[in-house]
Structure 1
């Protein structure tokens, strides 16, 4: 669904979203939730609110009705559960990216909602805190960029403590700028964060290449998958930011994007040469998490490449409230 959205279907021809809801959504008297894993152990929702965010990004409106195992449920019902699950620490949590994205996609500036404790939450305040969190998480990289250092070492610090290098968090925060008044207020701050993101291409790329040259062959495949994750998510994040906000890269920024595309192509060729794609069943049997990463990150990479292969969308206006 990351790649194909609502068009993605299961082998029996059903919309994938229908299958996810019918097969894995559960309820108790207190809440709605997704079954943690499928029968074969595949994670269904490894990050909080991942499924709701995916439905919203795929274009399902709040009023869209699905058939759960017990009866009808709407996207609005699922968003309401995300709202009830909200806690003040969410905006600063690495695992909060998908919930922040869902709240951003379901709301407009000025909106409020009640969380599970009955506290009224202002969406603008949540997103402002999230932007400050992103800036703090990328502060060391920003300093390295301003100082002209060729790289900032990755030590699981700051943004590197986030899943997928914080790129989903960037998407969630920057996506709020799809609204004109947010773009106006945040423009300079987001411009800086985009520059940091572009700086990361070479900063991290040098470290990956050095590791590839020195590590034993047994570790080569996991590292190549990590490279796929970073390069694909980077392109996806920049493409989504462009389409969400109307950002247009400068010629220098566009050249960096093209270098990211070339780097991704090289990584895919390396993975293919290493037998990653043809050997996926064997990888799944021996290293199931690596196989899941390979499939998921390939989808993100394909999506990122497709965003930059296609003509950019027209500059956005603030979307109408979803009914």
Structure 2
């Protein structure tokens, strides 16, 4: 397609001997395919990687496109309901996870005073956050799709914060995040047991944390973001550190299963396995990168080695994807394998973002 960038073309024609680094391949993939102004979910992933400077293919800032073209309003006045549909009429994802867009804008560094032009007038990010608070319901926030809501609020609410939702319920945010940590512990309990028993792996059967989108790593990110406050870390003690240990155990456990699946899969089933590898290794690196940046956590020598292993595993998965022609076949995948097409966009952005956190990491 004519919109393929020069960066992506340069990556695609690189000879094997001069194969560019995985981050460069993934970044070119993200920049090219996440810039579709008709796909706000993809635009959000481009923002995740590139920040506020990311632009849609039509030249507009991606954040402006998301709000102006896809934010909807019901009612009027200060209590009007503002929302993004989960999917557009043609099935394009807009906000399949509630509050993904607000979370993305907050993490990109937009201030609450930032104003965007919506279809009916100007809307600030602060107004969107207040609408999120009104819509907040504990059960939804603590469901598998609630991590984006928790992550957004963790960025704007300090310890001790309370607010009243649209149902008139008084919400103590510290209590909600205590429940989120307990949820993470419950969902990873089978992995914790496997780690303590010295099992080489815990099979993935869509149980526990594996019933969450992206393997529950967004839940970890939300919980860890709240833990950037010293008072929260003190109150939680070693509980979050134990979940970090489980995350490293997951790296060993899941990599074994991906290798086995890849070696036994018929050729037509290799693509989903490779995409899943990019998803997990990329989110793993992104999650720990955010954790280090937000809380000043420092990996132990063995953990630092595991981070380097994750980078190597991700590089191998990207190399195999590149050799398979998946990155070159995006236009056809959009029709023949639409989920793989979307995954290759979103997971490329997350993985490049994850690698960027560890770009200068040399084993410690």
* TM-score, normalized by the shorter chain, greater than 0.5: yes
Q: Does 1:68 align with 2:118?
A: yes
**Aligned positions, number:** 312
Following superposition, the deviation at residue 80 of structure 1 comes to 1.4
2: CA distance, partners of 1:168 / 1:126: 16
Report the TM-score when normalising by structure 2. 0.83
2: CA distance, partners of 1:42 / 1:57: 23
Unpaired stretches in structure 1, ≥5 consecutive residues: 313-323
1: CA distance, partners of 2:180 / 2:87: 29
Q: Does 1:146 align with 2:192?
A: no
1: CA distance, partners of 2:126 / 2:172: 18
Following superposition, the deviation at residue 64 of structure 1 comes to 1.2
The CA RMSD measured in Å over matched residues stands at: 1.4
Question: Which residue is equivalent to 1:5?
Answer: 51
Q: Does 1:88 align with 2:134?
A: no
The superposition leaves residues 202-242 of structure 1 with CA deviations (integer Å, 9 ceiling, x where unpaired) of 10111111111112211110111011101100000000000
Following superposition, the deviation at residue 88 of structure 1 comes to 2.1
3-state SS of paired residue (2:83): strand
Question: Which residue is equivalent to 1:260?
Answer: 310
Q: Does 1:283 align with 2:333?
A: yes
Moved more, 156-165 or 29-38: 29-38
Q: Report the CA distance shift for 1:187/1:304 in structure 2 as closer, same or farther (over 3 A).
A: farther
Following superposition, the deviation at residue 38 of structure 1 comes to 4.6
3-state SS of paired residue (1:181): helix
Q: Does 1:181 align with 2:231?
A: yes
Question: Which residue is equivalent to 1:248?
Answer: 298
The superposition leaves residues 108-141 of structure 1 with CA deviations (integer Å, 9 ceiling, x where unpaired) of 0011111110111011011000000001101110
**Residue number among 53, 58, 61 corresponding to 1:15 in the alignment:** 61
2: CA distance, partners of 1:35 / 1:142: 37
Q: Does 1:271 align with 2:317?
A: no
2: CA distance, partners of 1:250 / 1:56: 30
**C-alpha contact (below 8 Å) 1:27/1:33 kept by paired residues:** yes
Greater RCO, 1 or 2 (C-alpha within 8 Å, sep 6+) = 2
The superposition leaves residues 250-299 of structure 1 with CA deviations (integer Å, 9 ceiling, x where unpaired) of 11100000000000000000101111101111111111121001110000
Q: Does 1:103 align with 2:147?
A: no
Q: Does 1:221 align with 2:277?
A: no
Which structure 1 residue ranges, 4+ long, deviate > 4 Å from structure 2?
Answer: none
Question: Which residue is equivalent to 1:211?
Answer: 261
Following superposition, the deviation at residue 72 of structure 1 comes to 0.8
3-state SS of paired residue (2:249): helix
**C-alpha contact (below 8 Å) 1:91/1:129 kept by paired residues:** no
Question: Which residue is equivalent to 1:307?
Answer: 357
3-state SS of paired residue (1:33): strand
Report the TM-score when normalising by structure 1. 0.94
Following superposition, the deviation at residue 11 of structure 1 comes to 2.2
Unpaired stretches in structure 2, ≥5 consecutive residues: 1-46
**C-alpha contact (below 8 Å) 1:154/1:160 kept by paired residues:** yes
Question: Which residue is equivalent to 1:316?
Answer: none
**C-alpha contact (below 8 Å) 2:86/2:97 kept by paired residues:** no
1: CA distance, partners of 2:299 / 2:266: 39
Q: Does 1:28 align with 2:78?
A: no
